[in-house]
Structure 1
Amino acid sequence: MATRTVTIASSVGLHARPASLFVEAVGESGLDVLIARPGEEGVDAGSILGVMALGAKHGEEVELTAEGDGADAVLDRLVELLATDLDA
């Protein structure tokens, strides 16, 4: 299982547009990805409701985990996406 930690760069956190873009990228990956605050239970990163309910704000860290072929590359792309201000 691959795991990455990233700090949310979007000024509104994982809400609205940033959450939508992230969930879309997860869906395109074809892998099951979980997103969580460190030490907490993960939620389905492919679910817009799950991601928005997480309530991750700007500057907070989240952990991404995925399993399967290409999981490391998928998580690297998702980390890059979350480390970018998607509201800009």
Structure 2
Amino acid sequence: MKEFIYVMQDPEGNHARPAGKVVAIAKNYQSKASLWIGDQSYDLKKLLSFMSAPIKKGDEVVIRVEGDDEDIAADTLKKEFEEAFKG
């Protein structure tokens, strides 16, 4: 399992356009990808699940990736979070 922490930079927090980009990337990999806020998880391969995550600017989330291609999937998702949610 690979994981990284992301602190939301976008003033709007979690919203549709960048979330859609993240979901599209997560779907390219076999690995399971999830976002965690405390003990609650959200599936990064399902837009409605990801969009239901209550993330505001400054919130810290954990992204966990697990599977055969977890290394490349985690690296790519980290880059996309940093690009898509930079505000």
TM range, normalised to the smaller chain?
A: 0.7 to 0.9
1:59 equivalenced with 2:58 (yes/no):
yes
**Aligned pairs (5 A) from 1:1-88:** 1-37=1-37, 39-86=38-85
Q: Report how far residue 13 of structure 1 moved.
A: 2.1
**d(CA) in 1 for partners of 2:48 and 2:60?**
19
Q: Report how far residue 4 of structure 1 moved.
A: 1.0
Letter aligned with residue 45 of structure 2: G
CA distance 1:81–1:14, shift in 2 (3 Å): same
Which protein has the bigger strand share? 2
Identity of aligned residues (%): 25
* Residues 10 and 84, structure 1, Cα contact 8 Å, conserved in 2: no
CA distance 1:58–1:84, shift in 2 (3 Å): farther
- Equivalent pairs, count: 87
Q: Which ranges of structure 2 fall in alignment gaps of 5 or more residues?
A: none
CA distance 1:85–1:43, shift in 2 (3 Å): closer
Letter aligned with residue 70 of structure 1: D
List, as ranges, runs of 4+ consecutive aligned residues in structure 1 with deviation greater than 4 Å.
Answer: 85-88
SS in 1 for 2:40: coil
Q: Report how far residue 41 of structure 1 moved.
A: 1.9
CA RMSD in angstroms comes to 1.9
What TM-score comes out, normalization by structure 2 length? 0.83
Q: Report how far residue 85 of structure 1 moved.
A: 4.3
